[in-house]
Every structure is written in structure tokens, then in C-alpha cells.
A and B are shown apart, each in its own frame.
Chain A
Amino acid sequence: MTVPLPKQAYPGRILPVTLPAGPGGTPVTVGGQNALSLAPEGEKPNAAAIGMEVRTGGGDLPPALAKAFECRATDPVSLAGACANDWGAQFLFLSLDGCHPDGGGQPVEEGARIVHEVLAAVSCPVIVGGCGEEETDAKLFPAVAESAGRPVFLSYADEKNYRLVGGAALAYGHGVVAWSPIDINMAKQANLLLSDLGVPPERILIDPLTGGLGYGLEYTYSIVERIRLAGLSGDAMLARPVLCHLGDAWKAREAVDASETSWGDAVLRGRRWEETTGWACLAAGADLLVFRHPGNVEAFREAAWR
């Protein structure tokens, strides 16, 4: 006797979103599925996209990243080139943390210039992240939106700054990453607010805030899964691709602390910490993953089941 596998059919479908590429580059399209990741049923026209983060600020690198980046660490343009051309990133997440008052305090114009140069150096899609300091970002996003020569995604818009980021995106034809602090209501609200503003739905990604392994990952897992279930159940405001930025994995002491020799090799440990965080996010339903370690890009791009 054979027991038929139950197949769940959802009324909704995740909206496909395309991150545009530069001349000669390959755009990245994600979303479009009508089922959960890993489940056997449904259509999944687009695999999760694997991207890499490039930061403009200095600061100490974890041992694992210092080893991988070598001399490129201090030059965002050359690092971006390596990510896109040598390490296989399908898209870049360029964080302008160098403009943060505590992270070097580069002038806004300098940040915008780096964006311009990186966009000239790579042809893959690019998401540009602010520095995280409200006042600086309020100047940074308009400047970046204006100086970027081609469409990018701006990250991120939240409950407070969505008008500014949404406005900058509308003015120059960019997309927006809608961020919320591990809260499905706020994720929905951010999307509602951006829609009210007139940002087209196919230019919005959801960033639900990704906690690193051991530092809140389980909350993120649950939220990503619930956002996806809500979207598949027909909630249009949540039927959008989800981006998981794994940067927080590198904030874990376990990922970076080389002084704890009993924990094993810090270089391997850091990479693994990010990798494990990434697998969980992928299983939860993430459509875009942002890594820092080149080795993980390779691992994920080759994963058959993503």
C-alpha cells in the first residue's frame, strides 16, 4: 500500500523581483514561487541568489575574512571586483559603513563616489546600504541615488526613514529594501507604507533582520517562515522576496575570537559560523543571501537544493 504524500497548495505566489545589472551583467531575479522552500511541491522558477557584502569602512576584520580578502580589504572597489568576478557573487551588497561617524566618518560625497566607482567596476546587480546613522543616512541616500549611474536597490527603508529612502528610489528609479526588526507586523507595515508612497511592488525586497547563529537566528528563522506563509496564503504585502543579510554572524564572539584556542581554528570557525547561519535562512525561505566569506559563496552556489 502506498500512502500519497500530502501536497499543500497555496493560493498566493511570491512576487518576482529583478535586481537590474549593469551593461554586460546578469540581472538577478528572485521570487515567483508558490510553495515553501525545501517542500517538494509547487513551482520555484528562481533559485535563491547568493551575494556578497563589501564594506567601505576600515575596522578590524575577523581572522577568517582577513585571510580571505588579503590585501583587498582596504579597497572596496578592488574587493567588489573580486567578489563579482572571481568569487562568484551574483550581486553585491555595498555597505557604506565608512560614512558612519564612528566608522571613519567619510564625507557623504566620498560614499557616493565609491558607489559610483564600484558600479563602474562591476556589472552585477548592487544593493547599496547606508551607514546606519540616521542623520548621515538622510544625506547619504539622496546623494547615492543621484550619483549611481544605474538602478540599484537602497537598503534600507524602515518605519522612520521610508519616505526619504522611498523618495530617493522614486526620483532615480531605484529599488528599496524594506527593513523591520524581526516583527511580521512591522514587515507588513513597511511594505504598506512604501506602497502608499508609490514605490512599485516589484521594486521592494523584505529584510526581516537576520540574527547570527546563537544570537537570535531562531527568531529570524521563525519570522522568515511566517512572512513566507503569510505571503503564500494571499497577503500581497508579504508576498515579496526576503533578503537575509548574514553580517550579524560575524558579530558572534564564537565566529571571530582567536584567543579561545579550545574552540578550534578561528579562520575555519568564522566561515562555518556564517555558513550555518546561511543554511538556516535558506531553509526558512530566504531568496537572497548576503555573505562576507568567499568560500561560502562557492558552497551555496553549488548547493543542489537551494
Chain B
Amino acid sequence: MTESFHSSCIQGAKSVLSLARASLSHQLAGRGGSAHLGYPDTAYELPVAFGLTDLKVSTLADGEKVLDLAEGLLRNAPTLENALEAGAATLLAADVLGALSHKDGNPFSPPSVGFVPDSILRKLGIFMVDGTVPGVAVAIGRATDPAAAAAMVRQFQEIGLLVFLAGDVAQQMEKAGVKLGDDFKTFPLGPLPAVIHAVNFAVRAGLTFGGIGRGQTQAMYNYLSQRVKAFVCALGPMDEIGLAVIAGAMKAGFPVLADRNLPEIPGALLRSPAGEEMVRAGMEARGIKAKIVKVPIPIAFGPAYEGERIRKSDTYAEFGGGRGPAYELVVSAPLSEVRDKEIVVVGPDIPDMPKGGTLPLGIVVTVSGNRMQKDFESVLEQRIHRIVNYGEGTMHVAPRDTTWIRVSCEAQAKGFRLADLGMMLYAKMHADFENIVDRVSVTIHTREEDVQRGMAFAKTVYAERDARAKTLTDDTVEEFYSCTLCQSFAPNHVCIVAPERLGLCGAINWLDGKAGYEITPTGPNQPVMKGAVLDPVKGAWDGVNAFVREHSRNTVPGFNLYSIMDAPMTSCGCFECILALIPEANGVMAVNREFEGSETPCGMGFSTLAGSVGGGAQTPGFMGVGKHYLLSKRFLAAEGGLPRLVWMTKEMKEYLGADLAARAAEIGMPGLVDMIADETVAVTPEQLLLHLKKVGHPALSMPPLL
């Protein structure tokens, strides 16, 4: 079947070519070789020839050269490659045929428009570049079920696609009352061969908007396949000419969806029944996404409400937070397993609850996308916190299976239900992760047994993730990620985010950086290839240094990721805490941003210290870091690691708590945490030293820092 398909494509191309030859010789006989050949109202001669060959076409004789070139592409062996070449020949020949038929203007009767002039191309092109017109649908052939095809075209119009119709489907749509013309961005072109005007439209888009010049064949093919988000809907049975057109579309990189029995070619020729299914398939084949303008929920939604707290007395419904089991989970799944916008609530809902009532809650967001990675699940999951807080009257605290959600009485009075919560998550996941997420579905469970079962599963996912995070080390990855978000106020500061050293703001870890890059490839998170190891202990790589040098505009020649004394990483101003050298103690202290006191062993409180550490400066002995860096195996590895920590605020000690103790035990110093002083023990170097000597802190016997 595949072979016969290929050979039909080739036969079809020959038919188109001989049609063009016949028409050309007829005009040659009547008008002579020097007579004009071209379309009205275009700067691009015969656009297909202009874009795909280096032939200049202005006369009938030139047209012959195009046909000769097309003929040269034809091979008889029924292979896919030859079929695609036959497709290219079809496009060239059809463009000659099209131009010949436009000798006296549009040859077709209304509403068929024939060639679409440059003026309309420019007008519509802006909206294609802009994304207001998210793609192009080309329907060809004769629909078996005109009503279903009409519904499909109307759906294209709703999405805002530019629609071209060629073949009987054009009349069928007119008869079915589908609105046609400029205002509806729907152009009936004419009989089947007139589909070439959709192709020469796309080629001219590349010439006008893609900066592609005459005869840049490969660049043009790339533009057509990547930038012009067009797909072809082949309706009804196709004769050989129809198949040649399909081959031409595939050659141009436009996926073809056929409702008839054609051999499937992954990514290029797909089967799909005409109708909603075909719309979905076309959109997905081209990665076209319909934009959600406003989230349809009864409460206001936006960053303005992020900081809103809901007091107990204002709470209508409450989930989790120790009052019952609750969890949230984002998982990825193959495209075929996720139905986009499916929001399911299983179990009692907010209207079923009394004021102040509680319910178990299990939120599972399932996403899929060609660029989605399993590693990004946790990044998306962390976003749930912000999304829920965006609602006016919804509050979210704590992640994973510690989650706690409150819905206010006001929100309940406006009719807010759990499906709306699902809609918030659905819409925002799409908006925030546009580049990596193609489909999102949300399932919310509120029955105790369902939630318990789901939670057991979620816990296995969390455990897997944690295990994965442990295997992610600076040695096992090829690239780190930069963060230059702070360059607006610390112009020469570059954060290098590594698996074992998170951003100093504490907000961006290596996975966030990776996801950030996928989401905004031009944004502040860029991959940094590590390059050759310069110093494995201090954490120096030549790739990192080169990146830092370039992006600090030659002010910072490079740095050591794991050292505070020798060329430490620069600090912007967002650090969660500051590490500062205490020379007397042969160690470092850590003070967090929230610490309000001004008395620390180095003589300065957080804000005074911050003034001298920040701004992108490289200050040996002082460094801003994220709190969790203290738990890293690479924490000050150059200076001996955690045993260098001689003082930290009580608040930080409590915050890191068990994790810090575990880390101390891991390095064989289970008593270390208790030896580290805090503000209740010492606020001067003298007091600190006394304490360290008393408890026998290991820093005192380590090699001198200075």
C-alpha cells in the first residue's frame, strides 16, 4: 500500500506537470515566449519558484525553465523520497499553472479568490507573527459529511486560524453557511489545484517575514516546516493529483491529516476522522495552542491576591493542614493518556459542606507535552502554591502531603467550587509553562479512602523524586544553569546554579534553572557547559569561568563554586543568608535575612553585612548563599565543609533542624550541631572562642583559614 501511494504521488505530479506544459504551450503559441508570466499584486514573481529555486521568472519562456526543473525532480521508483521530490515538482508546476490561469486576473467565480495578493499577506502576516492567528488550516478535497466539515471549519475560525479551502469543500462550506472572506480569515481558493495559492502564500510569508532571499531553498523549507504553523486536512477520496498535492504539502513540512485510508507517516501523514478529532490532531501536530484569555471562575484571580491570608473565622472550607489528609501531585504522562482541560471532582464538593467544614483532599495534575521532562514535575508542582494563592479567597500553605488549603466564605458565596480550583490550575499551568506543557488535566478527590489511596501513591512519587535529587550531583551533570535575573540591580553578578549549590536566593535550584531555560530560552537561565575541571575540590571549571567572564562583562574572571576564601561566587543582594569569616575562630558564621539583631561575632548584623557583600562583588571571606547550601556535600568543600561552621542564628538552626543534624551525622560528627554557637551563647569573637574551646569545636583544629 505504501508503494502504491508513492507511485500515485509520482503519477499525480506527472499529471500536474503535463497540465502545466499543455497550458503553457497554448499561451506560448498565442502570446510568444517574451509575454509576461506572473501573478497580480505581488513582489515575488512566481513565489514558489522564487523561494525554492534560483530561477527568475517574468516571461512565459522563464515558466518553461521552471517546468524543466520540476521535471528533473521526478524519479519513477516508488520510494518515499521520490514521492516527496514529486511533491516539490507538483508545487513548482502548480505555481506555473496558477500564474498562467491568472493572465486576466482571478479565473474563478466568487466566492473563490484565487491568488491571495501581497496586501492581504502583509495584513494577515502581522497577526501570524504576533500569534493572534496561531496557525493555518488548509482543507482540500470533498467532505463526505459536509456538516461535520463545516463544524470543523467553524472551530478553526473560533480558534482564530487562517483557513484556506480548495476543491469541492469550498462550495460545500458556502452551502453549509460557513462565513467566508477576509473578515473571517477564511479563503476559498478554487478547485483543488488552486491549493497552490495556500502554498505560495506560505512561501511569501517566509520571504516577507522570515528574511529569506531568493533561492535560499533550505532556509525556505525550514521556515515552512517550523515557522508557518500550517496543516492540511485532506477530506474524502483523493485522486492522483490530490495525492501529489499531499506529497507537496509533506515536502513543505505541513503535516497532512486524512480521513481516508492512506498509509501513515509519523509526523507527516496522519489519519483522523474529519471533525473535532481532526482539529485536535492538527493543532497538536503543529504545536498550536489556543490562548486562554480569562480564567472562567467566579472569583478574581491574579498576583494581586497572592499575599491574602484567610483567617479561621472567614474560612468556609478547609482541606489538610493537619485537619485531615491532603496532598498535591503533578505527574507527567504520554500525550495519548491526557485529555486536555479534563477537570474531574470525585466526592463531596464545597456546596456540600457546612461553614467551617473540612474535607480530605487529593489534587492530581496530569500534564503532557513533547518537551515535558519527568524532572520538571516537581517544578510544576511547586507552582501550585502560587496558583492557588492567586485566587481571591483561596489560600495555600505548604507543599506535597503537608498541603493546607482554605476557601473563604466570600469565595463560597460567589459560588466557588473545587472544579474552579481545578480550572485555576489548568489555566495557569498552560500559561506559565506554555513551552513545555501541551495538555493538562486535573483530578480532585475528596473521599477519605480515595485520598488515602492517592496519597500512598504520591508518597512513592515523592520518594522517587528525592532519590533522584540525591543522584543529581555536580559531577553527574554536564551543564549548570546561570541566573542573571538580578543583573538589573547587580549588573555584573552571575549566579551559577549547580545541583549541589542552589541559587543564593534559595528560590532557584538546578531543576528550576533547567525548566526556566526550556520555558524561556532567551531568559535569565541559560545552560552553562562545565567544560574541563580546573579544580575538583574548590569547584572550578573552565566553561563556568568563561561564562562568568563573558556575562559579568569581563569584571569577574571566574570563581570557585565551593570556596569562600579563594575567588568565591559573587553575591547579588537576594541571598537568604550570609556566611562571614571569623578569623579568631578559624571558621565561618551564618546569619539569615530574617535575623533582626545587630550583634553577631563578626560585629555586624545581617543588613550591615549585606551592604558590604552584595552588588556583585567578589569578597573573599564573605558570601551570600541559599540556606539549603549549608546541607550540601559541597558546602565550603575547599575549606573543609560543615565543620567550619562555628556560629549560626538560632532561627536558622531550628529551620535546618533535623536535616542539619543528619548531615553532621553523615560526616561522622553527630554532636556538631550542638557545638555550633548561636546568639544566645556568643555575640562577640571572645565569647565565641570561649564557647568553641569549651565544647571542642573541630574548626579550632583545622588548617588555618588565613
Q: In the assembled complex, how far is the CB of residue A34 from the closest CB belonging to chain B, in whole angstroms?
A: 16
Chain B 120-140, CB-CB to A under 8 Å as 1, else 0, gives 001101111111100000000
Chain B 196-230, CB-CB to A under 8 Å as 1, else 0, gives 00000000000011110000000000000000000
Judge whether B522 and A189 touch: CB under 8 Å.
yes
Chain A 150-170, CB-CB to B under 8 Å as 1, else 0, gives 000000000000011011101
Judge whether A193 and B522 touch: CB under 8 Å.
yes
The total of chain B residues at the interface (CB under 8 A) is: 25
Asked if A235 is an interface residue, CB under 8 A from chain B, the answer is yes
Judge whether B211 and A200 touch: CB under 8 Å.
yes
Which listed residue (A170, A189, A193, A234) contacts B208, Cβ 8 A?
A170
Q: In the complex, what residues of B have CB within 8 A of residue A186's CB?
A: 488
List the one stretch of A51-59, A103-111, A225-233 in contact with chain B.
A225-233
Asked if A264 is an interface residue, CB under 8 A from chain B, the answer is no
Judge whether B488 and A185 touch: CB under 8 Å.
yes
Q: In this complex, what residue of A is CB-closest to B227? A: A198
Taking A164-B130, A167-B125, A168-B126 as contacts, is the C-beta distance between A230 and B208 under 8 angstroms? no
Q: Enumerate B464-520 residues with CB–CB distance to A below 8 Å.
A: 484-485, 487-488, 491
State the CA gap A172–B488 with chains docked (Å).
34
Which listed residue (B123, B126, B488) contacts A184, Cβ 8 A?
B488
Q: In this complex, what residue of B is CB-closest to A161? A: B130
Chain B 527-556, CB-CB to A under 8 Å as 1, else 0, gives 000000000000000000000001001100
Q: In the assembled complex, how far is the CB of residue A204 from the closest CB belonging to chain B, in whole angstroms?
A: 13
Q: In the complex, what residues of A have CB within 8 A of residue B553's CB?
A: 229-230, 233, 235
Which listed residue (A167, A183, A197) contacts B488, Cβ 8 A?
A183
Taking A184-B487, A198-B209 as contacts, is the C-beta distance between A167 and B522 under 8 angstroms? no
Q: In the complex, what residues of B have CB within 8 A of residue A168's CB?
A: 126
Taking A163-B131, A229-B553, A233-B554 as contacts, is the C-beta distance between A170 and B485 under 8 angstroms? no
Q: In the complex, what residues of A have CB within 8 A of residue B523's CB?
A: 189
Taking A163-B129, A172-B122, A196-B522 as contacts, is the C-beta distance between A185 and B209 under 8 angstroms? no
Taking A163-B129, A184-B487 as contacts, is the C-beta distance between A171 and B208 under 8 angstroms? yes
Q: In the complex, what residues of B have CB within 8 A of residue A197's CB?
A: 129, 209
Judge whether A185 and B487 touch: CB under 8 Å.
yes
Q: In the complex, what residues of A have CB within 8 A of residue B209's CB?
A: 167, 170-171, 197-198
Asked if B605 is an interface residue, CB under 8 A from chain A, the answer is no
State the CA gap A281–B320 with chains docked (Å).
56
Q: Enumerate A132-181 residues with CB–CB distance to B below 8 Å.
A: 141-142, 145-146, 163-164, 166-168, 170-172
Asked if A121 is an interface residue, CB under 8 A from chain B, the answer is no
Asked if A192 is an interface residue, CB under 8 A from chain B, the answer is yes
Q: In the complex, what residues of B have CB within 8 A of residue A185's CB?
A: 484-485, 487-488, 524
Q: In the assembled complex, how far is the CB of residue A17 from the closest CB belonging to chain B, in whole angstroms?
A: 16
State the CA gap A200–B522 with chains docked (Å).
17
Judge whether A170 and B129 touch: CB under 8 Å.
yes
Q: In the assembled complex, how far is the CB of residue B47 from the closest CB belonging to chain A, in whole angstroms?
A: 15
Q: Enumerate B129-153 residues with CB–CB distance to A below 8 Å.
A: 129-132
Q: In this complex, what residue of A is CB-closest to B129? A: A167
Q: In the complex, what residues of A have CB within 8 A of residue B485's CB?
A: 185
Taking A170-B129, A198-B209 as contacts, is the C-beta distance between A192 and B522 under 8 angstroms? yes
Judge whether B126 and A145 touch: CB under 8 Å.
yes
Q: In the assembled complex, how far is the CB of residue A62 from the closest CB belonging to chain B, in whole angstroms?
A: 31
Taking A184-B487, A226-B491 as contacts, is the C-beta distance between A167 and B211 under 8 angstroms? no
Q: In the complex, what residues of A have CB within 8 A of residue B487's CB?
A: 184-185
Q: In this complex, what residue of B is CB-closest to A195? A: B522
Q: In the assembled complex, how far is the CB of residue B7 from the closest CB belonging to chain A, in whole angstroms?
A: 39
State the CA gap A142–B124 with chains docked (Å).
10
Judge whether A146 and B123 touch: CB under 8 Å.
yes
Q: In the complex, what residues of B have CB within 8 A of residue A171's CB?
A: 122-123, 125-126, 129, 208-209
Q: In this complex, what residue of A is CB-closest to B124? A: A171
Q: In the complex, what residues of B have CB within 8 A of residue A234's CB?
A: 550
Q: Enumerate B109-128 residues with CB–CB distance to A below 8 Å.
A: 122-123, 125-128
State the CA gap A182–B550 with chains docked (Å).
21
State the CA gap A237–B125 with chains docked (Å).
25
State the CA gap A185–B492 with chains docked (Å).
11
State the CA gap A192–B491 with chains docked (Å).
18
Q: In the complex, what residues of A have CB within 8 A of residue B208's CB?
A: 170-171
Q: In this complex, what residue of A is CB-closest to B118? A: A171
Q: In the complex, what residues of B have CB within 8 A of residue A182's CB?
A: 488
State the CA gap A226–B209 with chains docked (Å).
32
Q: Enumerate A189-247 residues with CB–CB distance to B below 8 Å.
A: 189, 192-193, 196-198, 200, 226, 229-230, 233-235
Judge whether B123 and A142 touch: CB under 8 Å.
yes
Taking A193-B522, A198-B211, A235-B553 as contacts, is the C-beta distance between A184 and B491 under 8 angstroms? yes
Judge whether A146 and B210 touch: CB under 8 Å.
no
State the CA gap A172–B491 with chains docked (Å).
37
Chain B 80-123, CB-CB to A under 8 Å as 1, else 0, gives 00000000000000000000000000000000000000000011
State the CA gap A171–B122 with chains docked (Å).
5
Judge whether A167 and B123 touch: CB under 8 Å.
no
Q: In the complex, what residues of A have CB within 8 A of residue B130's CB?
A: 163-164, 167
Judge whether B522 and A198 touch: CB under 8 Å.
no
Q: In the assembled complex, how far is the CB of residue B248 from the closest CB belonging to chain A, in whole angstroms?
A: 25
Q: In the complex, what residues of B have CB within 8 A of residue A183's CB?
A: 488
Q: In the complex, what residues of A have CB within 8 A of residue B211's CB?
A: 170, 198, 200
Q: In the assembled complex, how far is the CB of residue A243 from the closest CB belonging to chain B, in whole angstroms?
A: 20
Q: In the complex, what residues of B have CB within 8 A of residue A142's CB?
A: 123, 126-127
From B132, B488, B524, name the one whose CB has the most chain A CB atoms within 10 angstroms.
B488
State the CA gap A145–B126 with chains docked (Å).
10
Q: In this complex, what residue of A is CB-closest to B487? A: A185
From B123, B553, B554, name the one whose CB has the most chain A CB atoms within 10 angstroms.
B553
State the CA gap A182–B131 with chains docked (Å).
27
Q: In this complex, what residue of B is CB-closest to A190? A: B522
Q: In this complex, what residue of B is CB-closest to A230? A: B553
State the CA gap A163–B553 with chains docked (Å).
29
Q: In this complex, what residue of A is CB-closest to B520? A: A189
Q: In the complex, what residues of A have CB within 8 A of residue B210's CB?
A: 198
Q: In the complex, what residues of B have CB within 8 A of residue A192's CB?
A: 522
Q: In the assembled complex, how far is the CB of residue A76 from the closest CB belonging to chain B, in whole angstroms?
A: 25
State the CA gap A146–B127 with chains docked (Å).
13
Q: In the assembled complex, how far is the CB of residue A286 from the closest CB belonging to chain B, in whole angstroms?
A: 18
State the CA gap A145–B491 with chains docked (Å).
36
Q: In this complex, what residue of A is CB-closest to B491? A: A226
Q: In the assembled complex, how far is the CB of residue A134 from the closest CB belonging to chain B, in whole angstroms?
A: 12
State the CA gap A234–B553 with chains docked (Å).
9
Q: In the assembled complex, how far is the CB of residue A6 from the closest CB belonging to chain B, in whole angstroms?
A: 16
Q: In this complex, what residue of A is CB-closest to B126? A: A167
Judge whether B128 and A167 touch: CB under 8 Å.
yes
From B484, B522, B523, name the one whose CB has the most chain A CB atoms within 10 angstroms.
B522
State the CA gap A198–B222 with chains docked (Å).
14
State the CA gap A193–B522 with chains docked (Å).
7
Q: In this complex, what residue of A is CB-closest to B488? A: A183
From B126, B128, B554, name the one whose CB has the most chain A CB atoms within 10 angstroms.
B126
State the CA gap A48–B550 with chains docked (Å).
28
Q: In the assembled complex, how far is the CB of residue A284 from the closest CB belonging to chain B, in whole angstroms?
A: 14
From B125, B128, B130, B209, name the one whose CB has the most chain A CB atoms within 10 angstroms.
B130
State the CA gap A157–B669 with chains docked (Å).
58
Q: In the complex, what residues of B have CB within 8 A of residue A230's CB?
A: 553
Q: In this complex, what residue of A is CB-closest to B489? A: A183
In the assembled complex, 23 residue pairs joining A and B whose CB atoms fall closer than 8 Å, in A order, are: A141-B126, A142-B127, A146-B122, A163-B131, A164-B127, A164-B129, A166-B129, A167-B125, A167-B128, A170-B129, A171-B126, A171-B208, A183-B488, A184-B491, A185-B484, A185-B488, A193-B522, A196-B522, A200-B211, A229-B553, A230-B553, A233-B553, A234-B550
Chain B residues with a Cβ under 8 A of chain A? 122-123, 125-132, 208-211, 484-485, 487-488, 491, 522-524, 550, 553-554
What are the 10 tightest A-B residue pairs by CB atom distance, in nearest-first order? A167-B129, A171-B122, A167-B126, A164-B130, A163-B130, A192-B522, A183-B488, A198-B211, A170-B209, A233-B553
Known A168-B126, A200-B211; 8 more pairs at CB < 8 Å: A163-B129, A163-B130, A170-B129, A183-B488, A184-B488, A192-B522, A198-B209, A233-B554
